[in-house]
Amino acid sequence: MTVTPAPGGAPAPARPRTRLLRALGTPPGRLRLAGLVLAGLVLAFGVTAGWQTVRRAQSADAVVERSQPLSQDAAEIYRSLADADTTAATGFLLAGGEPQSVRRRYEQDLDRASQLLARAAARTTASSDSQRWLSALNEQLPVYAGLVETARSYNRQGLPLGGAYLRFASTLMQQQDQLHPDDPYRAHGMLAAAQKLYEAQTGQLRRDYTGARAVPWAAAVLGTLALGALVRFQIGLSRRTNRVFNPGLLAASAATAAALLWLLAGHGAARDDLADSDRHGAAPLRMLDQARIQALQCRGAENLNLVARGSTTQYAERWDSVTRQLAGSDGSGGTLADSLRLAAGDTEGTARVRAATADFRSWDKLHGTAAASSDDGDYQAAVDATVGQGAATTDRAFERMDHELAAAAAHEQRDFEAAADHGRGALSGLAAGTGVLAVLATAGALLGIGRRLAEYQ
Amino acid sequence: MPPGTLGRRLPPAVAALALALAVAAAGGSAPQRTAPRTAPRTAPAGQTTAVRAAAGDCTPENMTRSVPPSADQSGTKVRQIVQRGRLIAGVDQNSYRWGYRDPVSGRFEGFDIDLVHAIAKAILGDPDKVRFMAVPTAERIDAVRSGRVDLVVRTMTINCARLQDVAFSTAYFQAGQQVVVPGTSQARTVDQALHGRTVCAAEGSTAQEELRRNPRGATVRLVGNQLDCLVLMQLGRVDATMTDDALAAGQMAQDPTLRLVGDPLTAEPYGVAMNRADTDLVARVNQVLTDYRNGPWQRSYRTWLQPYLGRSAEPPAARYLP
pLDDT at B18 exceeding the cut of 50: no
Same-domain pairing of B169 and B62: yes
CB pairs under 8 A between A and B: 163
Q: What is the CATH number of the domain that holds B108?
A: 3.40.190.10
What is residue A93's predicted lDDT score, i.e. its pLDDT? Answer: 81
Helices (H), B146-264: 160-163, 190-194, 206-213, 226-234, 245-254
pLDDT of residue B46: 40
Can you say whether the dihedral through the CA atoms of A361, A365, A370, A374 is positive or negative? Answer: positive
Residues A169, A148: contact at Cβ < 8 Å?
A: yes
**Torsions phi, psi for B88 (to 5 deg):** -100, 115
Say if residue B108 is in the same domain as residue B216.
Answer: no
Shared domain check, B150 and B112: yes
A457: pLDDT strictly greater than 60:
yes
Q: Which of B247 and B14 is assigned the larger pLDDT? A: B247
Strands (E), B43-105: 87-91, 94-95, 99-101
Mean pLDDT value of segment B260-287: 93
- What SS3 state is found at B37? coil
Residues of B in contact with A308 (CB under 8 A): 20, 23-25, 94
Nearest to A86, CA basis, from A156, A174, A186:
A174
Please report the residues numbered 242 through 261 in chain B whose beta carbons come closer than 8 angstroms to any beta carbon of chain A.
250, 253-255
Three-state SS at A355: helix
* Residues of B with Cβ-Cβ distance to A198 under 8 angstroms: 3, 6
Contact status of A210 with chain B (Cβ, < 8 Å): no
Q: Which residues pair with B164 in a beta bridge?
A: none
Q: Is residue A22 part of a domain?
A: no
Query: Does residue B288 fall inside a structural domain?
Result: yes
List Cβ neighbours of A251 (8 Å cut-off, separation of 6 or more). Answer: A440, A441, A444, A448
- Looking at the DSSP bridge assignments, the partners of residue A293 are none
Assess A332–B contact: CB distance below 8 Å, yes or no.
no
What's the confidence (pLDDT) of residue A405?
Answer: 95
Interface test with B, best of A130, A167, A196, A375 (most B CBs within 10 A): A167
Contact A219, A430 (CB under 8 A): no
> Do B87 and B182 lie in a common domain?
no
Residues 144 through 203 of chain B touching chain A, CB cutoff 8 Å: none
Strand ranges for A154-283 from DSSP E: none
For residue B122, give the H/E element and its range: helix B111-124
User: For A321, which of B16, B134, B225 is closest by C-beta distance?
Assistant: B16
Rounded CA separation A386/A142 (Å): 28
Report chain A residues whose CB lies below 8 A from the CB of B137.
Answer: 311
* Residue in chain B lying closest to A322 (CA): B13
The amino acid at B21: L
Residues B278, B191 share a domain: no
User: pLDDT tens for residues A346-392?
Assistant: 899 999 999 999 999 999 999 999 988 877 767 888 888 988 888 88
Range of B103's domain? Answer: 27-32+47-174+269-309
Return the pLDDT at A416: 92
> Do A329 and A319 meet the contact criterion of CB atoms below 8 Å apart?
no
Domain end marker among B261, B277, B300? B261
Q: How far apart are CA B316 and CA B295, in angstroms?
A: 14
Say how many domains are in chain B: 2
Show residues of chain A in contact with B2, CB under 8 Å.
202, 286
B187 belongs to a structural domain: yes
State pLDDT tens for residues A67-113: 889 998 999 999 999 999 989 988 888 776 778 888 999 999 999 99
Bridging pattern class, strands B99-101 and B94-95: antiparallel
- Burial-class residue A240 by CB neighbours within 10 Å (0-12, 13-18, 19+): exposed
Strands B108-109 and B99-101: antiparallel
Q: Return the bridge partners of B151, or none.
A: B89, B274
Among the residue ranges A308-322, A388-402, B37-51, the one predicted with the least confidence is B37-51
Among the partner-chain residues A189, A206, A314, the one whose CB lies closest to the CB of B23 is: A314
Cβ of residue A203 closer than 8 Å to a chain B Cβ: yes
The residue among A375 and B243 whose pLDDT is bigger is B243
pLDDT digits (tens, 9 = 90+) for A14-47: 566 777 677 677 777 888 888 889 999 999 999 9
Q: What is the pLDDT of residue A88?
A: 92
Q: At what angle do helices B76-84 and B111-124 cross, to 10 degrees?
A: 90
Q: Are residues B273 and B155 located together in one domain of the fold? A: yes
Structural contact between residues A370 and A303, judged by C-beta atoms closer than 8 angstroms: no
Sheet holding B94-95, edge to edge: B94-95, B99-101, B108-109
- In chain B, which among 39-98 make CB contacts under 8 A with chain A? 92-96
In angstroms, the CA B250 to CA B175 distance is 13
Report, as an integer, the average pLDDT of A386-404: 89
Let me know if residue A403 belongs to a domain.
yes
Q: Do B204 and B240 belong to one domain?
A: yes
- The share of chain B scoring above pLDDT 70, in percent, equals 82
Q: Give the count of domains, chain A.
A: 1
Predicted local distance difference test score (pLDDT) of residue A14: 53
| A206/B3 Cβ within 8 A | yes
